[in-house]
Amino acid sequence: MQGIDPEAKEEEPTHQLSVHSATCKPEPPTRSGRRSICSNCSRPLPVCLCHALPAQPIQTTTRVVILHHPHEAQHKLSTTPILAKTLINATTIIGRRLRPGISPVLDQSPNAIYLFPPTHTSPALNVSHLQASDLIRDKGKDLVLVAFDGTWKHAKEMVKASEDFLSRFATRVCLEIDENASGGSIYDSDLILRK
């Protein structure tokens, strides 16, 4: 089905980047005009990570599709571009929602998983059970991993908006949670990954 999404027009423009198409073009000066940007990893020179990137992008059997929130894409320290440069089979889509027509990989209704915590209405397969599941046992070679990159608030919005489409072919997978661990939920953790 190739329905045109009525909300599509309201969304910000969607761009697709991949390790194959990404080009190293010079970055325009920042507003201050002072901070120099690495033309390869697109990070400010003092935090350039080129020395840590593999000489050749890494080949993986699992294909990775990342929905990269437009706000996140404006951050110079975003880690998604680094991942896309590191993995040969990683594709970044800048947008707020996965839908038909946005990704040639997902349009094939692949054997896919997406990583996000469960809710009452959307249960998730614990990642520790993934190896034993049909997803890996029978079709592992074709597996596609979908990830959402944004703040927790944005990621929740992106998952909610994408599930109509994703649920046709993808399984929600969550990380194992230690019930005995104390502290707040993962939603209010400021987990130091960023921000």
- 41 or 64, CB closer to Zn ion? 41
Which range in 48-56, 65-73, 86-94, 131-139 contacts Zn ion by CB under 5 A? Answer: 48-56
Instruction: Establish if 38 lies at the interface with Zn ion (CB under 5 A).
Output: yes
Compute the distance between CA of residue 73 and CA of residue 55 in angstroms, rounded to an integer: 24
Which are the contacts of 73, defined by CB distance < 8 A and separation ≥ 6? 80, 94
Least distance to Zn ion, CB of residue 49, Å: 6
CA distances from 72 to 52, 77, 86, 153, 166 (A): 22, 9, 19, 12, 21
Binds Zn ion by CB under 5 A, chosen from 17, 19, 41, 155: 41
**For residues 48 and 105, which CB has a smaller minimum distance to Zn ion in the complex?**
48
Could you say which of 40, 108, 109, 128 contacts Zn ion (CB under 5 A)?
Answer: 40
Q: Are 121 and 163 in contact (CB under 8 A)?
A: no
Which residues sit at the interface with Zn ion, rule CB under 5 A? 38, 40-41, 48, 50
